[in-house]
A = this chain, B = another copy of it.
Amino acid sequence: MAQGYFYCGKKEDTATFNYFFRTNPFKGGFTVFAGLQDLLKMISEFTFNKSDIQYLEKQGFRKEFLEYLAGFRLSGDILSAREGEIMFPNEPVLQVEGNVIECQLIESVLLNILNFESLIATKAFRIKLVANGKIFSDFGLRRAQGLGSLHASRAAFIGGASSTSNVMAGKIFGIPVSGTQAHSWIQSFDSELEAFRAYAQAHPDNSILLVDTYDTLRSGLPNAITVAHELEQKGKRLLAIRLDSGDLAYLSKKARKMLDDAGLQHVKIVASNQLNEHVIKSLLKDQNAAIDAFGVGTELITGKNDAALDGVYKLSGINEQPKMKFSENIEKVTLPCKKQVYRCYDNHGMFYRDAILLANENPEKAETICDAFHPERKTIISELKKEPLLHTVIKNGEIISETYSLEDIHKYLLTRASLLPDEHKRFISPHIYKVGISEKLLETRNALVKSLE
């Protein structure tokens, strides 16, 4: 397509593209936007080197176009919601404005990064919502989707994971790393007790003993208690035991009692084994499991069951002309023009509606918004406090946005999520957060529809 634009007289055209998604992942009521800083970094490094050009030449691309690619860099603007923002279906999360070829060339990688990190950050935050103040760690590397594991660990931390078992991700992104022993450690010694002792000696300050290799309650716990007492005699404390199979609710309560009876109230209980937000919620809220921390692997790091966020990147204007896509599926019809999204607050200062306006519209003059597909459903927004969500992050190809630490992004998420009413956060049939479009945007879209009929 890029070569097509280059040769058909459109290489100087300017375009506007919007990134948005159509449904919240996990049948939930919100999406955590993540991946922005990785995207900006990727765009700043997006070039075609000699070997790329040679490869493309072999694929049949033409000389002048390849010369253009060899000098490629993005020269346009990008507006975006802040990383860690709570976003909703069908509203622009990010807007790219610039040369049509440039806009087109970054499409796939933009979608790849933002869809994936938003998926995982949302999953992690759903776990955080039910973890009841307990910490959880990303244990997912061994089941992650290849190298996707790296950015998944980053997104999981933004969403609320306290650490990762992926040491490479820890190194690259500065995420705290944490590990624990595997069954192979226990098995490699002649006895479980000997294995626990050796581990406690190697890690006297932060041992977590895995107690289910042979028999959790009859072997693992008694041996862990023995080692905990031995540590105490050296002035050290066993950090925790870990349960990795069986009924975690039952075993954790039994284990807590055994530890307490042995005077080991300070020894924590960590649980792992195919956990997700639903299992953790059930363990903590329905069954009062005595679990202090969770290791969450596969489902967190792959965003199961969805495995993908359905974000798309759609043309909404070319050379200042509004553009939209029709479709057999009504929900796939897009919104034309450069736009801005305003978050409208209710009287209690909570998120109430999002309003999509034309970029050049004065939000103070927008009296009502309506549903994009059912325009008879209106909301009056004139009296509401409004806050623009899209900010310029790249101007003329240069990154102008501040760089935030992952901790800052996570804290921003927490602040924003605290303003989202609880009914949007529940897992089953969450209340749908309303996103409307302004009268002017509706008129522009209707006129465009008419002109195309």
Known: A142-B112, A146-B116, A147-B147. A104 touches B184 (CB 8 A): yes
- The digit string for A287-330, where 1 denotes a CB below 8 A from any CB of B, is 00000000000100011111111100111001000011111110
Known: A171-B52, A188-B13, A302-B145. A213 touches B315 (CB 8 A): no
Which residues from B are CB-within-8-Å of A1?
A: 179, 181-182, 184-185
A55 within 8 A of B: yes
CA distance A166 to B198 in the complex (A): 48
A8 within 8 A of B: yes
Which residues from B are CB-within-8-Å of A313?
A: 142, 184
Residues A7-31 near B (CB distance < 8 A): 7-8, 10, 13, 15, 17
How far apart are A198's CB and chain B's nearest CB, in angstroms? 4
> Is the pair B188, A142 in contact by a Cβ cutoff of 8 Å?
no
Q: Which residue of B lies closest to A325 (CB)?
A: B183
Which residues from B are CB-within-8-Å of A7?
A: 201-202
Residues of A within 8 A of B (CB): 1, 3-5, 7-8, 10, 13, 15, 17, 51-52, 55-56, 59, 100, 104, 107-109, 111-113, 115-117, 141-152, 165-167, 170-171, 177, 179, 181-185, 187-188, 198-199, 201-203, 212-216, 245-247, 298, 302-310, 313-315, 318, 323-329, 332, 452
How far apart are A162's CB and chain B's nearest CB, in angstroms? 16
Name A185's contact: one of B4, B51, B182, B452 (CB within 8 Å).
B4
> Is the pair B199, A142 in contact by a Cβ cutoff of 8 Å?
no
Which residues from B are CB-within-8-Å of A327?
A: 212, 245-246
How far apart are A311's CB and chain B's nearest CB, in angstroms? 8
Q: Which residue of B lies closest to A316 (CB)?
A: B187
> Is the pair B3, A202 in contact by a Cβ cutoff of 8 Å?
yes
CA distance A172 to B213 in the complex (A): 42
Listed A/B pairs (13) with beta-carbon separation below 8 Å: A1-B184, A5-B188, A8-B198, A13-B188, A108-B165, A111-B143, A112-B141, A143-B308, A146-B151, A246-B328, A302-B302, A302-B307, A302-B308
